[in-house]
A and B are shown apart, each in its own frame.
Chain A
Amino acid sequence: MTKPKVGFYSVTGCQGCLLSVIFNEEELLGVLEKIDVKSFPFIKEKVYDGHLDIVFFEGVVTSKHDEEMVKKIRDQCDIFIALGACATTGGVPALRNFTPPENIQPLIYHKALEITDVDPSPVDKYVKVDYYIQGCPPDKKEILGFIDDLLRGKKPLMYSKPVCIECRHNGNPCLLEKGLPCLGPVTNGGCNSVCTNGGLVCWGCRGPAQDANFELMIKVLKEKGYDEKFIKQRIDAFEGLKYKEKEDAKKKWLE
């Protein structure tokens, strides 16, 4: 059996998701025996240009160059996996969508003319995505699990329960009940509730849960004494674009 050709690619982002792959120190060498890594920033100098079986794509599309790259890579591969919060929900870089352009105008590189700016958006705005690995950063074990499943010819299972489930099975006190602005109930889990285990509230890095009820979540947080601006900023941090997408879809449906 020939080894599947795997590529890791990255556009605008902090590269933390790729580090998550490398952080599997104990298993990494074993995995590399089973797959043929053709491209990996940090590890490989040259960018591979040819057909690939599996692609892990990290980062948010913020420029024309990014857009071209994601489209090109998609054409070259069979299975396209969006890796990390930026690629799946837009993440923190996509916050720019929620501020008036004049606020960021002075910050954009005017001199580097070859950079053409587009609205930051997750990769699924431009290409078809087969699987999503969410999280900022994604769980390192989850990435290996995906590779293992794909090697076995199995369809990887994407975790689809809210953070609350894992948080409760980990025996944590409910932070929302304590009055903290935790977004656990509307956020997809799979992270083993790593933040709430340590007493930190959930910011929603893994994107909206399947049945995320944002309207009610906002109402609950308002009752806890948080103002609208604060709640909006909290949701926008990671889930803003997906929330907006949902709202727009709802409006369309009502029309």
Chain B
Amino acid sequence: MVYAISFENYNKFLDSLIQKTDVFAPVKGKVSSFEKLKSAEEFNADVLTEYTAKNNFLKQGELILTHKEGEVVEPDLSKIKEKILLGLRMCDLASIKKHDIAMNNKYADPYYNERRKKVTLFGYHQKQCGDEYCFCQSVDLEVEYDLFFYKRADHYLVEVGSDKGKTIIKDNQDLFEESDYKMTKEDKEIDNQLKLDSHDIDDIYTNNRGWSALVKDCLACGQCNALCPTCFCFEFRDVPKQDGSVEKKRFLSECQLECFSRVAGDHIFRKAQIDRFKHRIYHQLQYFKDKFGKTLCTGCGRCIRHCPTKIDFVTKINEMKKEAKK
């Protein structure tokens, strides 16, 4: 079943949502990111945001527990507020699905799951999605959403993906119209200029010349990790407080830095930048796939777009693959 909503009604719909819950959507401020929406006019999904919505699930500095006078106090997770994430592109949605897998592998992560459970996901489709660095059509995009909006000339088409979504439509019946439109494959297409020929990159692991050519431009600043929608590696830090208690907090970790692979005794497993760089690419394209059957990378291209030296690993991997075939 597909629904239609006019732009005018869409704004009304947003305004009514904002009054009820916290709505986070792409906002064009000094930087484009997911911010708390104050009014429907602020919503701006024309460009792919620079920052992802990752922070809503994997909160930087998440309090895990507090040690106080020999006792362990766990934080009250029920205090986490319900929220709606609006305007998620396919790559952002897919990254959430991939986090669901990673964070529930063997041991479920209660902090992530609680935040995830309380978020309603609204997808947003635009055929001309990003820019020359997007390559989402070359990787695995499997998504889960509550509602999905497709932009048309004067209205949005809305697909329902869950019971939660169905209830939202029901609650706002007067704004949505039922449509007999059948969604086709073309409707869901996204244009990409960049294409990764293959993400089976096992055979080029030893191509040192190729990888070195990429790494020589690496500043080791770790921005690719920080901006990646899927990079989920984390570390714990104990933060002492003046009252004698200690807070254990979780921070995201960056595999491009030396401290990532430093272990007790100050041994460092990946000393050379090339090893760290390869680890990032192989985790995104190979290791995760070996384990869970799909690539971790969602092809949003942020790690290339916002890299200070614009390291384009996609084109280079294509080159290396061609070389390997010869």
A residues adjacent to B (C-beta < 8 A): 27, 30-31, 144-145, 148-149, 152, 157, 160-162, 164-165, 168-169, 171-174, 176-177, 184-186, 209-213, 216-217, 220
1/0 contact string of B193-232 vs chain A (CB within 8 Å): 0000000000000000000000011111111011100000
Minimal Cβ-Cβ distance residue in B for A149? B240
Query: Which residues of the other chain, A, contact B50 by a CB distance below 8 angstroms?
Result: 173
Q: How many residues of B contact A (CB 8 A)?
A: 31
Partner of B242, one of A144, A149, A173, A186: A144
Contact A164:B242 (CB < 8 A) given known A171-B51, A177-B306, A220-B308: no
Query: Which residues of the other chain, B, contact A217 by a CB distance below 8 angstroms?
Result: 219
B252 A161 Cβ-Cβ under 8 A: no
A165 B226 Cβ-Cβ under 8 A: yes
1/0 contact string of B82-94 vs chain A (CB within 8 Å): 0000000000000
B309 touches A (CB below 8 Å): yes
B257 touches A (CB below 8 Å): yes
A211 B226 Cβ-Cβ under 8 A: no
Q: State A176–B308 Cα separation when bound (angstroms).
A: 7
Q: State A185–B259 Cα separation when bound (angstroms).
A: 15
B30 A162 Cβ-Cβ under 8 A: no
Minimal Cβ-Cβ distance residue in A for B223? A164
Minimal Cβ-Cβ distance residue in B for A160? B259
Contact A145:B242 (CB < 8 A) given known A165-B226, A168-B223, A184-B221: no
Q: State A248–B51 Cα separation when bound (angstroms).
A: 39
Could you show 20 A-B contacts with beta carbons less than 8 Å apart?
A: A148-B242, A149-B240, A162-B222, A162-B257, A165-B225, A168-B227, A169-B55, A171-B33, A173-B30, A173-B31, A177-B306, A184-B221, A209-B221, A210-B259, A213-B219, A213-B220, A216-B216, A216-B217, A216-B219, A220-B219
Chain A CB count within 10 A is highest, among B227, B242, B254, for B242
A164-B223, A177-B306, A185-B308 provided; 11 other pairs, C-beta below 8 A?
A27-B242, A160-B257, A160-B259, A165-B221, A165-B223, A168-B227, A210-B257, A211-B220, A213-B219, A216-B218, A220-B308
B100 touches A (CB below 8 Å): no
A165 B51 Cβ-Cβ under 8 A: no
Contact A162:B33 (CB < 8 A) given known A30-B242, A177-B306, A211-B257: no
B237 touches A (CB below 8 Å): yes
A161 B223 Cβ-Cβ under 8 A: no
Partner of A164, one of B51, B221, B252, B259: B221
B226 A174 Cβ-Cβ under 8 A: no
Query: Which residues of the other chain, A, contact B140 by a CB distance below 8 angstroms?
Result: none
A189 to chain B, nearest CB (A): 10
A187 to chain B, nearest CB (A): 10
Minimal Cβ-Cβ distance residue in B for A187? B221
B60 touches A (CB below 8 Å): yes
Contact A211:B273 (CB < 8 A) given known A161-B222, A171-B33: yes
Which residues from 47 to 77 on chain B have a C-beta closer than 8 Å to any C-beta of chain A? 50-51, 55, 60
Minimal Cβ-Cβ distance residue in B for A164? B221
Q: State A220–B306 Cα separation when bound (angstroms).
A: 14
Query: Which residues of the other chain, B, contact A161 by a CB distance below 8 angstroms?
Result: 222, 254, 257, 259
User: Could you count the A-B residue pairs with CB atoms below 8 Å apart for me: how many are there?
Assistant: 83
A210 B309 Cβ-Cβ under 8 A: no
A174 B242 Cβ-Cβ under 8 A: no
B residues adjacent to A (C-beta < 8 A): 30-31, 33, 50-51, 55, 60, 216-223, 225-227, 237, 239-240, 242, 252, 254, 257-259, 273, 306, 308-309
Minimal Cβ-Cβ distance residue in A for B216? A216
Query: Which residues of the other chain, A, contact B226 by a CB distance below 8 angstroms?
Result: 164-165, 168-169
B30 A216 Cβ-Cβ under 8 A: no
Query: Which residues of the other chain, A, contact B219 by a CB distance below 8 angstroms?
Result: 185-186, 213, 216-217, 220
Contact A177:B308 (CB < 8 A) given known A171-B31, A185-B219, A213-B218: yes
B237 A169 Cβ-Cβ under 8 A: no
Query: Which residues of the other chain, A, contact B217 by a CB distance below 8 angstroms?
Result: 216
Q: State A211–B254 Cα separation when bound (angstroms).
A: 13
A215 to chain B, nearest CB (A): 10
Query: Which residues of the other chain, A, contact B259 by a CB distance below 8 angstroms?
Result: 160-161, 210
Minimal Cβ-Cβ distance residue in B for A163? B221
B254 A174 Cβ-Cβ under 8 A: no
**Lowest 8 CB-CB distances: which A-B pairs, in order?**
A185-B221, A168-B226, A211-B220, A148-B240, A173-B31, A164-B221, A185-B219, A210-B258
Q: State A27–B50 Cα separation when bound (angstroms).
A: 38
B218 A169 Cβ-Cβ under 8 A: no
Partner of A172, one of B31, B237, B308: B31
Query: Which residues of the other chain, B, contact A212 by a CB distance below 8 angstroms?
Result: 220
B254 A216 Cβ-Cβ under 8 A: no
Query: Which residues of the other chain, A, contact B220 by a CB distance below 8 angstroms?
Result: 162, 185, 209, 211-213
